[in-house]
């Protein structure tokens, strides 16, 4: 029998490759997970509260009750992701032991460690992490993240921060690709990025892992915008189940993500689906309420 | 090969589309993304990539592409399904799920090697290949049973993981993730042979 290797970079990153062009939806119970799956979600994120409710509730946000995660895992055949606090080794190990398919080391939860992230390469389960620029992206890849997403500003229904982060990462990638190898070392210093990962980005002409949009997607047109800007797919947190009609929003956002340049179609599927989640203006948020500042 | 003027499509609704297009390019074949029936009519062979089979099926429905795909298959144009693509091609899914298209005379069981932590890579022996192939299995299905006319090309731990039935090819793993183009080349030859046949007919 030939050797069988689990938890390799290829297996972890490959899992994220299979999610491309798809929508990953936040759910808080089995019923929502089933709605998401039926609408065509490629995965669900099982959590106790969606980001908009985490904002409202205040206090410390932690890993979800394992019973919720278990319930969601039992109810759908698509992959199930779950969130651990930044740097919370034990929460992440618990989720891994439960067999979740992907862990989001997420700034949506209250960080457990304000200095260090998880050494994700030491886990068998793959991780997704947020980033606002190429330095954050490369540090997370260096720690072993197999998938990235923009941080955006979770729970706001405001796309402006996700746009800022996606544009910034992609502009910085273009800059790196145009640099000579000897210039890259200084760029590595300036970005706070591992040199070897910048070399890999230059060789590939893109990030070595999939990069999704997250943090503010509330409408089908928001999803299409992020795909246009180069996202490999879309996370929708509060945008589905805080909208007036989650089933319709879920279906429409899935279609808009796939057919993101078919504007007639997007117009058609956006008709009469009800009111999107209520949005928040970013400048109205106190610095302490800006989740994107966590875990750089 | 590109001079021969045939095009292979990669169903581009969701999943590892870019990797298959790159693999085709490395084989010297023109590949295009297929997101509509009009694009399907432009290709002489089709790859249905890995992704989430339930999501791809939902998108096939909303794009009204199910009947055109079945007609594409009936016209004897080759189709190659990997992982989710294999699931969609199956005649039957174990456990009563019904998002498959019924193109190929096989029964497929989903997620049959476990969850993502159990996903793995291994060197796989494939019938007709002189060297083992680096196969990546991600939440992979396996072929639970085959009907008449289906040739088994590879098994792993007594589970069937690669099959061929006339102009149809399917595998549980992801040849597009490895940088080894032998499986893609195998499918390209199937498309070339189908073109020779149809020109003789």
Rounded to two decimals, the pTM is 0.96
Question: Nearest 5 degrees, angle CA B84-CA B125-CA B165?
Answer: 50
A65 secondary structure, DSSP code = P
Q: pLDDT tens, A158-183?
A: 999 999 999 999 999 999 999 998 89
* Among candidate residues A232, A240, A1, the one with its CA nearest the CA of residue A128: A232
Specify the DSSP class assigned to residue A279: P
Tokens encoding B69: 């795909």
| C-beta atoms of A20 and B16 within 8 A | yes
- Closest-CA residue to A276 (of A245, A236, A235): A245
| pLDDT tens by residue, B162-186 | 999 999 999 999 999 999 999 999 9
- Smallest Cα distance from B62 to chain A, Å: 8
Long-range contacts of A27-32 (CB under 8 A, 24+ apart): A27/A72, A27/A241, A28/A68, A28/A241, A29/A68, A29/A71, A29/A72, A30/A71, A30/A72, A30/A74, A30/A75, A32/A241, A32/A246
Reported confidence tier of residue B4, pLDDT bands at 50, 70, 90 = low
- Phi, psi for residue A274 in degrees, rounded to 5: 100, -170
Contacts of A17 in chain B (CB under 8 A): 15-16, 19, 50, 177
Furthest CA-CA distance within chain B: 50
- The residue in chain B having the minimum alpha-carbon distance to the alpha carbon of residue A255 is B59
- pLDDT, tens digit, for every residue of B15-40? 999 999 999 999 999 999 999 999 99
Angle at A187 between CA A185 and CA A190, to 5 degrees: 115
| pLDDT of residue B198 exceeding 90 | no
Give the pLDDT score at B1. 45
Instruction: Give the mean model confidence (pLDDT) for residues A82-100.
Output: 98
Q: Are A51 and A154 in contact (CB under 8 A)?
A: yes
Give A106→chain B minimum CA distance, Å.
19
pLDDT at B2 > cutoff 80: no
SS3 A212: strand
The verdict on a CB contact (< 8 Å) between A15 and B138 is yes
pLDDT digits (tens, 9 = 90+) for A30-86: 999 999 999 999 999 999 999 999 999 999 999 999 999 999 999 999 999 999 999
Residue B201 pLDDT level (bands cut at 50, 70, 90): confident
Nearest CB partner across the interface for A99, out of B62, B115, B123:
B115
State the DSSP H helix or E strand holding residue B168, giving kind and residue range, or none if neither.
strand B168-171
The residue in chain A having the minimum alpha-carbon distance to the alpha carbon of residue B118 is A6
Nearest residue to B139 (alpha-carbon basis) of B113, B170, B176: B113
Residue in B with minimal Cα distance to A17: B16
ipTM: 0.95
Residue B129 pLDDT? 97
Q: Which residues of A touch B133 (CB under 8 A)?
A: none
Q: Which residue among A11, A38, A251 sits closest to B119, beta carbon to beta carbon? A: A11
Chain A residues touching B98 at Cβ < 8 A: none
| Helical spans, DSSP H, in chain A | 9-17, 30-39, 51-57, 66-75, 89-98, 134-143, 160-177, 181-191, 195-204, 220-228, 238-241, 246-258, 263-270
User: Is A79's CB within 8 Å of B139's CB?
Assistant: yes
SS3 state at A82 = strand
Q: What are phi and psi of B177, to 5 degrees?
A: -95, 0
Does residue A190 sit at the B interface (CB-CB below 8 Å)?
no
Place of tokens 């047109």: A221
3-state secondary structure of B95: coil
* Mutant choice from A15, A25, A40 vs B, greatest count of B C-beta within 10 A: A40
- What's the Cα-to-Cα distance from B191 to each of A285, B35, B38, B70, B99, rounded to whole Å? 58, 20, 20, 17, 26
Cross-strand pairs, A6? B120
- Which of A2, A18, A102 is opposite residue B52, by nearest beta carbon? A18
Is B7 a residue whose pLDDT tops 50? yes
Considering only CB atoms, which chain A residues are within 8 Å of B18? 20
Q: What are phi and psi of A203, to 5 degrees?
A: -65, -40
| Cβ-defined contact of B121 to A2 (cutoff 8 Å) | no
Which residues on neighbouring strands pair with residue B155, listed in sequence order? B160
Q: Is any Cβ of chain B less than 8 angstroms from the Cβ of A3?
A: yes
For the question of residue A83 being annotated catalytic, the response is yes
Rounded to the nearest angstrom, the minimum Cα separation between B164 and chain A is 23
Whether residue A1 has pLDDT greater than 70? no
Torsion of CA B123, B125, B128, B130, to 10 degrees: 50
Residues 6+ apart with CB under 8 A from A271: none
Average pLDDT of chain A, as a whole number: 96
Across the interface, whether the CB atoms of B55 and A2 are under 8 A apart is answered no
Residue B134: which residues within 8 A CB-CB, separation 6 or more? B121, B122, B123, B124, B178, B180
The residue whose two tokens read 């060297």 is B131
Per residue in A195-247, pLDDT tens? 999 999 999 999 999 999 999 999 999 999 999 999 999 999 999 999 999 99
Q: Which residue is listed with tokens 């022996």?
A: B125
Integer Cα distance of A223 and B148 in angstroms: 45
Say yes or no for a CB contact (<8 Å) between A6 and B120. yes
Minimum-distance CB partner of A15 among B54, B63, B116? B116
Q: Of the candidates B83, B117, B177, which has its C-beta nearest A99's C-beta?
A: B117
Residue B149 burial by CB count (10 A; 0-12/13-18/19+): exposed, middle or buried? exposed
Interface size A-B, in CB pairs within 8 Å, comes to 125
pLDDT for res B5: 84
Q: Is A53 on the interface with B (CB under 8 A)?
A: no
Retrieve residue A270's tokens. 């956006």
């Amino acid at each position: 029998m030939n050797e069988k290797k689990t938890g390799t970079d290829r297996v972890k990153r490959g899992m994220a490759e299979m999610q491309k062009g798809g929508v990953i939806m936040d759910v808080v119970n089995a019923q929502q997970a089933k709605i998401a799956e039926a609408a065509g979600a490629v995965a669900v994120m099982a959590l106790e509260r969606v980001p908009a409710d985490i904002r409202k509730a205040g206090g410390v946000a932690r890993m979800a009750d394992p019973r919720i995660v278990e319930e969601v895992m039992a109810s759908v055949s698509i992959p199930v992701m779950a969130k651990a606090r930044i740097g919370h080794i034990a929460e992440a190990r618990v989720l891994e032991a439960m067999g979740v398919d992907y862990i989001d080391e997420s700034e949506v939860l209250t960080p457990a460690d304000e200095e260090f992230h998880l050494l994700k390469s030491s886990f068998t389960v793959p991780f997704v992490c947020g980033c606002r620029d190429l330095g954050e992206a490369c540090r997370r890849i260096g720690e072993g993240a197999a998938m990235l997403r923009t941080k955006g500003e979770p729970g706001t229904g405001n796309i402006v921060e996700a746009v800022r982060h996606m544009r910034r990462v992609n502009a910085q990638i273009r800059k790196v690709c145009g640099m000579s190898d000897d210039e890259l070392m200084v760029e590595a210093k300036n970005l706070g990025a591992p040199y070897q990962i910048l070399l890999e980005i230059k060789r590939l002409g893109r990030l070595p892992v999939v990069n999704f949009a997250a943090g503010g997607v509330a409408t089908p047109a928001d999803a299409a915008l992020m795909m246009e800007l180069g996202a490999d797919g879309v996370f929708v947190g509060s945008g589905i189940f805080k909208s007036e009609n989650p089933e319709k929003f879920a279906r429409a956002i899935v279609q808009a993500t796939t057919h993101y340049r078919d504007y007639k179609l997007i117009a058609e599927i956006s008709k009469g689906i009800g009111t999107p989640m209520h949005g928040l203006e970013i400048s109205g948020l106190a610095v302490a309420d800006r989740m994107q500042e966590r875990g750089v | 090969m590109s001079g021969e003027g045939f095009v292979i499509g990669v169903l581009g609704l969701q999943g590892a589309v870019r990797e298959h297009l790159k693999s085709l390019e490395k084989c010297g074949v023109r590949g295009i993304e297929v997101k509509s029936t009009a694009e399907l009519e432009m290709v002489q062979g089709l790859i249905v990539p890995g992704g989430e089979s339930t999501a791809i099926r939902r998108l096939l429905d909303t794009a009204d592409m199910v009947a055109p795909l079945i007609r594409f298959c009936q016209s004897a144009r080759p189709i190659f399904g990997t992982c989710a693509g294999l699931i969609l091609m199956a005649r039957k899914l174990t456990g009563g799920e019904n998002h498959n298209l019924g193109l190929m005379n096989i029964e497929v069981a989903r997620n049959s090697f476990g969850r993502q932590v159990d996903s793995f890579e291994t060197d796989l022996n494939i019938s007709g290949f002189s060297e083992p192939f680096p196969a990546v299995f991600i939440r992979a299905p396996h072929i639970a049973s085959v009907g008449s006319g289906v040739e088994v090309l590879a098994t792993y731990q007594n589970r069937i993981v690669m099959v061929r039935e006339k102009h149809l090819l399917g595998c549980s793993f992801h040849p597009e993730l490895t940088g080894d183009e032998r499986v893609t080349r195998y499918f390209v030859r199937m498309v070339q042979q189908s073109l020779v046949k149809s020109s003789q007919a």
